Each structure stands twice: as structure tokens, then as C-alpha cells.
Amino acid sequence: MARARIVEVFSSLQGEGLRLGERQIFVRFGGCNLRCDYCDEPLSLSSSAGALWSAARLKARILALQRTRRHRAISWTGGEPLLWAEFLLEMMAWAKRKGFENHLETNGVLPARLKLAAGLADVVAMDVKLPSATGRSTWRAHAACVHVAPEKTFVKVVLTAASRTAEVRRVLKILEDLPDVPLILQPATPDLTGKVRPIAPERAMAFFRLARSMRKGVRLTPQWHPIWGVR
């Protein structure tokens, strides 16, 4: 029977994206195939992060949280949930049968696996990673992913002091033929170590104005859960 590495399962408010402020059940998977310098969940990056959970254990935990208060959706997050595709698909199908919506968060570089999960997702919260933050180019994979289920997808781009205008233009080019896909520009949240170099507000606004000049549905918004003081 499939198992997956789970770091934590908890109830909280969604702090990003189109479902901002909605109470959801968060299932955080361990392991990630990218290393973004602004990552706010570094303990989830390792392939040995968390513990191996069975589907039965996870289902029981989700139902216990649902008994405490009603949740509209489950946020499958990480790490990168699509690294555990077999387990994830089983759980997303079960969640639909139980009346949950599936809010799938992904770094947007695994198009083949996203195709498997897209039919079960109600929302695909997809990052487009800038090379200045990851140290590698993933443009082709992002372009493939955003075309998998554009009617369900919104794109998030995290901005740091290292973000470049050419990178933002490249994001806009990828989305050029998908005018209805919402784009969220998100200034990186500073961390206590000082490793994350936040973008200056005036530079973030310049990127926002550039994006707004080329497409509709653009938002500039920070992560809200650190501001609210919740996970």
C-alpha cells in the first residue's frame, strides 16, 4: 500500500493566493526537487523530512480535524506533493468522495505528474520560480504545467531583491496566451536569519505596474499567515 512522507497535518487559514483567508486542512509533504533561497518551509526540503504515513492514518487525521470545525478544502502542500503522486492521487480521490475540495500547491516543474492530478484538483496553486531564486532555469517546465489545467490554475511569483525585470517579462510571456489565469506577485517574507533579501517596495510596485500593463487579473500581495501569526 502506498505511503508518503508527511511533515505535518493541521488546520489554519490560507495565507496566499485566491483562497486567501479560507480555513483549510493543510497536508504538508516532505521532500522537494527545488531549492529556492526564500523557502519558508526548509524543514520540508529533505527526502527524509517528516515520517512515513499510510493513507489510513492520514484519512483518520483529516476526519478528526473536520470534526473540530468545518473545512471547505484540503491544501496539499509541501515540499512538493507531486513527488508522491501515487499516494496523492489516492488521497485526492478520497477527499472528493468525502466532499472536500482539493487545493493543490505545486512548484510547477512536473507537468506529467500534474496531468495525473489535475482532474481531481479544484484549484492548482502553481509557482513560477525565477532563476535568480533557484539557481536554475525551469521556464520550459513551467510553460508546460500552466497549460495542463489553466481553468483551475493561478500563478504565483515570489519576488526578492535579486528578481530581475527580464525574469518578470519571461513570466508574462509564458502566460501570454492564457489571459484568464490570475497572476499573483508575492514579495518574499523576510526570515529571522537575514538570508532572504526582501524586495524594495518601490521595485515590487514597478513589477506590478509592468504586469498590469500587459495582462488583467494581476495582484501584488504578501504572505498573510506570518502577518496573522498563524502557520
**Which CATH number covers residue 123?**
3.20.20.70
For the chain, residues with pLDDT lower than 50 are none
pLDDT per residue as tens digits for the range 83-117: 999 999 999 999 999 999 999 999 999 999 999 99
Number of domains comprising the chain: 1
Alpha helices in the chain (DSSP H): 55-68, 85-97, 111-118, 131-134, 139-146, 165-174, 201-214, 225-228
Which residue matches cell numbers 487545493? 103
| 70, amino acid identity | R
Record the pTM: 0.95
Question: Which pLDDT value is given to residue 231?
Answer: 83
Q: What is the DSSP string of 33-52?
A: S---TT-S-GGG-STT-SEE
Question: Which pLDDT value is given to residue 118?
Answer: 98
Q: Which domain holds residue 49?
A: 3-228
Is 178 within 8 Å of 217 (Cβ atoms)? no
Question: Which pLDDT value is given to residue 194?
Answer: 66
Instruction: Please state whether beta strands 153-159 and 3-13 pair in parallel, antiparallel, or not at all (unpaired).
Output: unpaired
Question: Which pLDDT value is given to residue 103?
Answer: 98
193 backbone dihedrals φ, ψ, rounded to 5°:
-80, -15
Question: Which pLDDT value is given to residue 46?
Answer: 86
